[in-house]
Structure 1
Amino acid sequence: MRFSNFGPLSVLIGWLISVPVQADMQFQTQEYRLKLEVVAEGLSHPWSIAFLPSGGQLVTERDGRLRLIQQDQLHPDPIAGVPDVAATGQGGLLDVVLHPDYENNQLIYLSYADATAEGLTTRVMRARLQNHALHDAEVIFEALPRSSAGHHFGGRMVFDQAGFLYLSVGDRGERARAQQGDDHAGSIVRLHDDGSVPADNPFVENPAVRDELYTLGNRNPQGITVHPQTGEVWSSEHGPRGGDEINRIMAGMNYGWPEVTYGVNYIGTTITEHTELPGMVSPLLHWTPSIAPSGITFYTGDDFPAWQGQLFNGALKDRLISRVSVTYEQGEYQLQEEERFLQGFGQRIRDIRQSPDGVLWILTDETRGQVVRLRPASD
């Protein structure tokens, strides 16, 4: 398997701003001139967006509100029935996804940080969305054991094409936990839509490993998506200082953290001498220095034909979008970062998603965050 460090970069700086983007701002990339359309603003650290069949959007705010956008208008009232969340550190209300059969059952899923006397953890709740409120709410998963750390909750979710639900759980800042099979921390979890364990999960016959685990050795995955052709689940993962990763998520695999990494401790000291080891999966691509990748999506729309099949990654630290080409040759994926844009944008990109009609949307992780749509600029 070949993976790239940087490769030749083409860094394009658009409008250099440090304030929220104004409506219809334009900037140039390698192939296209883009227009940024602000759909909603004034949101408190928006974290995730889901697209309703009716054409509306659900957006989570990390401090615990679920918001509805309809016809490009933000509903003034948050949706009722959201659980109490632990909005501390990196925790709070995180991801929102729709059930694959949402049109018939109106089920949505929320991931969030939860606090009890035993500490903090990542939970998933399922509920029915009706009349601007959540009904029949039930917690279907809780990562155990809890701990006091206020970071590395993971929390990204996706349904694959077979209807299985995947959830990332960070290592909670306690790196050794990612290699412990009796611990949900530092893993990708795979569940049925009701939270039960699929019979073909890779560790169900191993009493030393929790049945819900699909992978181990993950530090803090903050992006997760499904390959549109193969149906495979892919993720982006925060490294420490360097060593951010893109991974193809495969059953029963160990992704190495903290035994292998391209990063170092934040103070510059060595974590491990190893960047690869037998039995541990190497990343398809890594960023060193770190960009702090967030949401990811494969582009399959018609607005930008030259980008079809490529992987788009939001970034928090470097406040940009990374465009990565993906090819499959002789049984191996080859990834190459082709371009970085929105540098100088001045806002942390928390999520990037493609809507069902093929349009790219981004969320900015700011105290007055925005929901922004990317369109081709007219001549």
Structure 2
Amino acid sequence: MVYFVQYLLRAIALSLAALNVQAAEALPQTQWPFTAEPRATLEEPWAMTFLPDGSLLVTEKRGVLKHLDLKTGKVGLIAGVPPVAYGGQGGLGDVIVHPNHASNGWIYISYAEAGEANTRGAVVVRAKLLLNEDGSGSLTELRPIWRQIPKVTGSGHYGHRLAFGPDGLLWITSSERQKFTPAQDMGSNLGKIIRLNDNGSLPSDNPFTDQGTVAAQIWSLGHRNMLGMAFDSQGQLWVHEMGPAGGDELNLIKRGKNYGYPVVSNGNHYDGRPIPDHDTRPEFEAPKITWTPVISPAGFVIYQGQRFPSWKGSGLIGGLSSQSLVRVVFDGENAREVERYAMGARIREVEQGPEGSVWLLEDGRGGRLLELQPR
């Protein structure tokens, strides 16, 4: 109920903001430079990742991991997924493969985990993926390698997006669980970007290793709700996050920097109370793009394929409330939105396929897997 009220307040606040700020024009289907072919229908899909053989793993929020053979259309279930704390924004989250998956078989999964006294928190596990000839499979050697600290009440703002960087290390977005102040607390890993070795151990060159075990995980702080991250061709890390009532952000992440939340934001509290803008506190890192009205960003890939030559190097961001696919371009340490496509559904996830197609997951029950191909 609390989550629904917060969602409603956000919608009302952003509708009011829309009266004063003109949203970017979204291109209708007749003007898309691509076709969108439905390839599967899923139940509350959240994330996907491609395996070396071109097949696909997809997570569903209620705790189901599916294996899709895109050549045959066959769908197999993966056994061994841990129990998840489903509800609100919680459930089964991200899935990625180790850069050397073809030789070591490791995959990584994030999800919301129940704790004591009605608390919850995100957890990341590493497991071996074993596939059967019929497309089904199982997880073995499963071991938790990271948890949000502390577990708190509520069912929003887990974040728990995963990525491997060019450094071969594991990066995790840990959102602030709608608790605001932990984002500035170095004794908590909420509201932070986390950097770990592939087995969950701590890299010796993280920026806060002298401040304790929890702080030693942290790469940057002062974040809200981060649901997408991607590395560009220069090795720079870009992360988007949802603002409160207005002020969604795209940030360039730098070692040890503080991005200001909840001290500053280019949005306001849901009840209308103002939050000082970034330009009032120059000691905090400011976003490279802000959106008001919001796009509610979810999923993010920086395209490096050949099928869409004009998109190469562009960031592609899924929009939930905006029901759109948003394209941004980068110029060194700057970024700007250049196009938006009206998809007619909440877009939860964006990935690049091995052959250069762009793949989208629609949000919610009956959410479709779409393959985008050039017209």
Structure 2 length as normaliser, TM-score? 0.89
1:254, 1:273 → 2: CA distance? 14
Q: Deviations over 1:39-79 (max 9, x none)?
A: 111x1111111001111000000110000111345544420
1:226 is matched with 231
> Could you say if the C-alpha distance between residues 275 and 151 of structure 1 is closer, same or farther in structure 2, counting changes exceeding 3 Å?
farther
Q: Tell me the CA shift for residue 290 of structure 1.
A: 0.8
2:277, 2:239 → 1: CA distance? 24
Equivalent residue of 1:205, what SS? Answer: helix
Equivalent residue of 2:183, what SS? Answer: helix
Alignment RMSD, CA only? Answer: 1.7
> Could you say if the C-alpha distance between residues 77 and 297 of structure 1 is closer, same or farther in structure 2, counting changes exceeding 3 Å?
closer
Determine if contact 1:85/1:115 at 8 Å carries over to the other structure: yes
Q: Tell me the CA shift for residue 336 of structure 1.
A: 1.8
Q: Deviations over 1:2-34 (max 9, x none)?
A: xxxx999453122xxxxxxxxxxxx423xx2x1
Equivalent residue of 1:340, what SS? Answer: strand
2:221, 2:291 → 1: CA distance? 21
Structure 1 length as normaliser, TM-score? 0.88
2:209 aligned with 1:210: no
Q: Deviations over 1:287-346 (max 9, x none)?
A: 111110011111121122112111111110110011112112xxxx232211110x2x33
Q: Tell me the CA shift for residue 112 of structure 1.
A: 0.4
> Could you say if the C-alpha distance between residues 129 and 208 of structure 1 is closer, same or farther in structure 2, counting changes exceeding 3 Å?
closer
1:185, 1:69 → 2: CA distance? 33
Amino acid at match of 2:44: H
1:179 is matched with 184
1:38 is matched with 38
2:16 is matched with none
1:167 is matched with 172
- The percentage of aligned residue pairs carrying the same residue is 37
Equivalent residue of 1:202, what SS? Answer: coil
Matches within 5 A, 1:101-116: 101-116=100-115
Amino acid at match of 2:68: I
2:350 to 346, 349, 352: 352
More helix as a share of residues: 2
Amino acid at match of 1:340: R
> Could you say if the C-alpha distance between residues 122 and 276 of structure 1 is closer, same or farther in structure 2, counting changes exceeding 3 Å?
farther
Amino acid at match of 2:155: G
Range that drifts further, 66-75 or 49-58: 66-75
2:370 is matched with 372
2:359 is matched with 361
2:31 aligned with 1:28: yes
Amino acid at match of 1:338: V
> Could you say if the C-alpha distance between residues 244 and 8 of structure 1 is closer, same or farther in structure 2, counting changes exceeding 3 Å?
closer
Q: Tell me the CA shift for residue 266 of structure 1.
A: 2.0
Amino acid at match of 1:211: A
Amino acid at match of 2:26: V
> Could you say if the C-alpha distance between residues 354 and 182 of structure 1 is closer, same or farther in structure 2, counting changes exceeding 3 Å?
same
1:295 to 286, 294, 299: 299
Matches within 5 A, 1:80-95: 80-95=79-94
Counting matched residue pairs gives 349
Amino acid at match of 2:331: T
1:146, 1:74 → 2: CA distance? 39
Q: Tell me the CA shift for residue 169 of structure 1.
A: 0.8
Equivalent residue of 1:156, what SS? Answer: strand
1:215, 1:39 → 2: CA distance? 38
Amino acid at match of 2:27: L
1:274, 1:352 → 2: CA distance? 29
Q: Tell me the CA shift for residue 208 of structure 1.
A: 9.0
2:125 is matched with 125
Q: Deviations over 1:149-174 (max 9, x none)?
A: 11000010100011110000110000
Equivalent residue of 2:316, what SS? Answer: strand
Q: Deviations over 1:133-191 (max 9, x none)?
A: 00000000011111011100001010001111000011000001101010011010110
1:134 to 136, 139, 144: 139
1:158, 1:313 → 2: CA distance? 15
Q: Deviations over 1:73-118 (max 9, x none)?
A: 5544420000100011100000000001000011000000000215
Determine if contact 1:349/1:364 at 8 Å carries over to the other structure: yes
2:281, 2:214 → 1: CA distance? 21
2:336 aligned with 1:336: yes
Q: Work out which structure has the larger RCO, using CA pairs closer than 8 Å and 6 or more positions apart in sequence.
A: 1
Equivalent residue of 1:178, what SS? Answer: helix
2:242 aligned with 1:242: no
1:18 is matched with none
Determine if contact 1:67/1:74 at 8 Å carries over to the other structure: no
Q: Which runs of 5+ in 1 are unaligned?
A: 1-5, 15-26
Q: Which runs of 5+ in 2 are unaligned?
A: 1-20, 132-136
